[in-house]
Amino acid sequence: MQRVYMDHSATTPVAPEVVKVMVAYCTEKYGNPSSIHSFGREAKMALEEARGQVAGLIGARPEEITFTSGGTEADNMAIIGVAEAYKKKGRHLITSAIEHHAVLETFEYLAKNGFELTVLPVDEEGIVSLAEVEKAIRPDTILISVMHANNEVGSIQPVAAIGALAKERGILFHTDAVQSLGKIPINVQELNADLLTMSAHKIYGPKGVGALFVRKGVRLEERAYGGGQEKKRRSGTENLPGAVGFGLACELAGQRLEEEAERLRKLRDQLLLGITERIPFVKINGPLGERRLVNNVNVSIQFVEGESLLLGLDMVEIAASSGSACTSGSLDPSHVLLAMGLSHEIAHGSLRFSLGKQNTEDEVAYVLENLPKIVERLRTMSPLYDKAKQSGLSLKRG
């Protein structure tokens, strides 16, 4: 068995056709899009074609797409750019407790610098309620940012409704769509999004490139000063190979979206169901069915710790991830799982498999064959398992 990669929410391999086109824009068509000669012109044309491909995947106009260095920069650009441009109108900002750190930390920075922040709670499935958004809105609210789909538990947020509410109240709406892009259809009109964050390397494009959709008419304070590229929103010579690669990756994702979503959904459910059938004391984190991202499996395996599960899986060549403290680089487990009301103990035992295009049914079967053995071995070692057995915890499954 080859190595089994089930960590596509972290990153994906670059599609071979994407690599090929990127190489051409490194070695042959290497012009600077700002130059006037033919090298420059062909580069500029390629850049604009890529912009169109990205716009096409989300129902936007090409001129509404700004290329960035990735999702993090796009989030920063959207949130700080809007806050600075609209601060005379108001200084209140709204986001959710389960956002990616690129969003949360940016808002925290603003909260320390003259803005006021409301962080919305989520329910036990990791979903923000529209009622909570409505409650949080104030006359001085200028921006609401709620992610499209959560990266850890795959919960899909009611962004279209939140966007509609924001629109009705004259508040700008940003959504981080890094995890949903290419997995569920996105249309910025239907979502009522004013700003939307994208990243290339989650959809079989290269690392180091992303984009921000900025609806025509929305003002953003300039953040990088220089040559005025990207409509003065982001100075600096454009990452042409990256943009071209991202453009193609968007086009490919759009072509295969529905077919691939169906395939992933099937694999996801096989894996989720298989785990809960084979291993007792497992809690599924996040919603089931249509409100869950098609490629996300997240479970808490009680009485064992996430990092040791990952190490055990790594020894049989399976790559996954966890929200345990040891893997988050801090002493606390995932802020997403804690916001969903999980105890620290249960959050420490969380395990995420994120599926992608090269995963097969055989690979799912391989994981289902190996995971129970790893869990059993770690539980034999775990004093918590002893305590649970002694206290007569019912040995029910699931």
Partner 1 sequence: MYSDKVLDHFTNPRNVGEIPDAKGIGEVGNAKCGDIMRIYLDIENDLIKDVKFKTFGCGAAVATSSMLTEMVKGKTVEEALKISNNAVAEALDGLPPLKMHCSNLAADALHAAIKNYQERDHQTG
Residues binding partner 1 (CB under 8 A): 303-308, 311, 315, 324-326, 329, 331, 333, 343-345, 348, 380-386
Which bin fits 231, alpha (ψ -120 to 50), beta or left (φ > 0)?
A: left
Q: What is the DSSP string of 282-313?
A: EEE-S--GGGB-TTEEEEEETTS-HHHHHHHH
Q: Which residue has the tokens 């920075």?
A: 109
197 Cα distance to chain centroid: 9
**CB of 334: closest distance to partner 1 in angstroms?**
12
How far is the C-alpha of 209 from the C-alpha of 67, rounded, in Å?
A: 7
Q: Identify the bridge partners of residue 357 per DSSP, sorted by sequence position.
A: none
Catalytic residue flag (residue 326)? yes
**CB of 352: closest distance to partner 1 in angstroms?**
16
How far is the C-alpha of 85 from the C-alpha of 95, rounded, in Å?
A: 18
Contacts of 206 (CB under 8 A, 6+ apart): 14, 18, 22, 200, 241, 242, 245, 246
Strands annotated E in the chain = 4-5, 65-68, 92-96, 116-120, 141-145, 172-176, 195-199, 210-214, 282-284, 296-301, 318-319, 350-354
**CB of 155: closest distance to partner 1 in angstroms?**
24
**CB of 340: closest distance to partner 1 in angstroms?**
17
Three-state SS string over 8-41 comes to: CCCCCCCCHHHHHHHHHHHHCCCCCCCCCCHHHH
Query: Which residue from 123, 176, 167 is spatially nearest to 141, judged by alpha carbons?
Result: 167
Q: Residue 231 or 377: which CB sits closer to partner 1?
A: 377
**CB of 309: closest distance to partner 1 in angstroms?**
10
**CB of 119: closest distance to partner 1 in angstroms?**
22
Q: Residue 220 or 378: which CB sits closer to partner 1?
A: 378
User: Catalytic residue among 326, 368, 384, 393, which?
Assistant: 326
Per the document, the length of the chain is: 398
How far is the C-alpha of 33 from the C-alpha of 38, rounded, in Å?
A: 10
Q: Residue 1 or 311: which CB sits closer to partner 1?
A: 311
Maximum pairwise Cα distance, the chain:
78
**CB of 125: closest distance to partner 1 in angstroms?**
23
∠ at Cα 287 (281, 289), nearest 5°?
Answer: 110
Q: Residue 244 or 342: which CB sits closer to partner 1?
A: 342
**CB of 312: closest distance to partner 1 in angstroms?**
8
The single-letter DSSP state of residue 221 is -
Amino acid occupying residue 91:
R
Q: Are 316 and 367 in contact (CB under 8 A)?
A: no
Residues annotated as catalytic (active site), given as ranges = 326
